[in-house]
Structure 1
């Protein structure tokens, strides 16, 4: 079986349907030790105030839209004409991959990188987006943490929390300088490459064409102040809406915690979930969120656990389910066009016919 035949098989609806079943089976396998969580969460949802649950659903949807808007702003600034609908579909699908498997964020990042390349982004632009969006998220967390600590009256070293903000500004300044001075960057890189080639006794200009191609892409990563402000705003809104979703879930079970305590609890759970040794951090994240709600938000353990169950049912299970439906819907609904050129034998057959 040659490569062309393999590609045709992969594009068939039957293969895609089998892939769906394999992924669903994998999800059940990875989550087999936590299936009781779904039952517990469903019972809490049934007992919760429907109005607050509905508000939480709206808020989690808006948070995903804000996250997608960060990508829209950054890619359009770099000259990639992306459609907002496609970015939102990618955001939901990537979130499903990220939350469904241990180490899912790496799979999600690879998917985003690949899709951005299909939209016309260069490797430089796609990499620039990954770095800058991560810096924006870190800076947003630092701002929220600093504000929460201030309102709770806790003692903290402001320098520690300000590092993310300084790093973001330094990154924005560096990318803008590079975008405005590609010739200087190219000259420096060529000089370093020639020195390396001379040391290895290789042709002097071995890497020069690649460096010239790379430097031609650098001018696209300039980020004007108004675009940087918009990206920061949407990144902050993503965090704020997620926290508001958690607060709505707490209100749904009758809790009335201090907002600052909820913010710190949310951020603590996010830090715990970075490792993601289980799908979506299931287990460690829930324990961290429950214990911090008790310690920082003055909630009882019963109320905290119930609120976490409701929140995770919406923000984890619900959002992951929607993401997979969107992912497979986009895959199966997309018409498959065979644009591959015919082989010589196939061309002869078709001409003979």
Structure 2
């Protein structure tokens, strides 16, 4: 046995002690939430019975409309990814992008630690499609930023329609800030050299604080910028990606509205939009998969404030969650097990064969002719097959 074994064991025990010490907090919070829900259910049991009857008598045409809206919301996710990757010279077929997002959404909304698993899964798929590590990471960050801005814009729009008509300057100021952030992100993606000096200065400060040479990490920083130069995000493409991001939220709000109509309610669209934005915001807290219990606790009071009765609001919430969460997640798991569970690494030549002539022409137009640095910007290529493999030996 190594003499370092006791020290390693002590170190491991010390490193895991905070987690062991506070492991009960998560379960305590969940237990309190369940107790509160049980008490509330006992107090409004008659309302829950009416909600169940309202759910059974729902208008199924509106339910089908909610299903269509939920699927259009997922379609917009894939379009955001395709637009951003296309700006970096990575062309992906629509069905591949949608399949990856359905599977990633299933991981994100049904598994503990789902958002991390989903981001890792989507990142891996983008690497298999030919994106460099920097481009794949940039796409995840940029799409997330567009989603946040779109949700904030949707919530502000609903609040404006509700009561901000007398003070439009606050809304205009917020929108101006969002537009400035988007233009800044587009400028950095188009001209990474703009932040080269800032990065060098920050590195020098960090190296000085760590007592290391000033040029430590400088080469890696420059290599990262070189890969980022493969992104050519024009304002047109930024506008297209943001439009799909906003459409994603609009389609999801439409899904909630159709669920409310299916339950027999007639909510105010402005109040419903604000309730939706609030529910989505609190649903991002990673307490339970899919925002379970948290989304429902915010959504039902919001629907009631929009003009629905409590039984109809509960029915609308159930229909919306069954469609936008359970149904979409079920599709995602089917896609995951049939397409990605036993998936072998993609053959880039096979992917190119699937692309249409228009896609290939668009990709060729984005490539700078006779540029020796082009290969480095797109990341490493897969190795050529061995001669033995070609001869069948």
* TM-score, normalised with respect to structure 2: 0.68
1:47 is matched with: 57
CA deviation after TM superposition for structure 1 residue 173, in Å = 3.1
Aligned mate of 1:217, from 193, 203, 227: 227
Aligned pair in 2 of structure 1 residues 50, 180: CA closer, same or farther (>3 Å)?
Answer: closer
For 1:330 and 1:277, the matched residues in 2 are separated by 29
Aligned mate of 2:138, from 116, 128, 131: 128
2:79 is matched with: 69
Superposed, 1:41-120 pairs within 5 Å as: 46-120=56-130
1:17 is matched with: none
1:23 is matched with: none
1:331 is matched with: 340
Corresponding residue SS for 2:315? helix
2:45 is matched with: none
Corresponding residue SS for 2:284? coil
Aligned pair in 2 of structure 1 residues 204, 159: CA closer, same or farther (>3 Å)?
Answer: same
CA deviation after TM superposition for structure 1 residue 326, in Å = 0.6
For 1:160 and 1:328, the matched residues in 2 are separated by 48
The root-mean-square deviation of aligned C-alpha atoms, in Å, is 3.5
For 2:179 and 2:104, the matched residues in 1 are separated by 27
CA displacement, residues 279-320 of structure 1 (integer Å, 9 cap, x when unaligned): 21111211210011112x111111100111111111111111
Aligned mate of 1:318, from 323, 327, 338: 327
1:305 is matched with: 314
- Whether the aligned pair in 2 keeps the contact of 1:178 and 1:218 (CA below 8 Å) is no
- Aligned residue pairs, count: 307
- Whether the aligned pair in 2 keeps the contact of 1:175 and 1:223 (CA below 8 Å) is no
For 2:210 and 2:156, the matched residues in 1 are separated by 50
Corresponding residue SS for 1:153? helix
For 2:266 and 2:125, the matched residues in 1 are separated by 42
- Whether the aligned pair in 1 keeps the contact of 2:160 and 2:171 (CA below 8 Å) is no
Q: Which moved more, 1:139-148 or 1:275-284?
A: 139-148
For 1:283 and 1:85, the matched residues in 2 are separated by 33
CA displacement, residues 11-44 of structure 1 (integer Å, 9 cap, x when unaligned): xxxxxxxxxxxxxxxxxxx9xx89xxxxx99986
For 2:51 and 2:333, the matched residues in 1 are separated by 20
Aligned pair in 2 of structure 1 residues 138, 205: CA closer, same or farther (>3 Å)?
Answer: closer
CA deviation after TM superposition for structure 1 residue 79, in Å = 1.4
- Whether the aligned pair in 1 keeps the contact of 2:208 and 2:214 (CA below 8 Å) is yes
Aligned pair in 2 of structure 1 residues 218, 163: CA closer, same or farther (>3 Å)?
Answer: farther
For 1:101 and 1:162, the matched residues in 2 are separated by 39
CA deviation after TM superposition for structure 1 residue 340, in Å = 11
Corresponding residue SS for 1:112? helix
CA displacement, residues 109-132 of structure 1 (integer Å, 9 cap, x when unaligned): 222222222222223222222222
- Whether the aligned pair in 2 keeps the contact of 1:142 and 1:165 (CA below 8 Å) is no
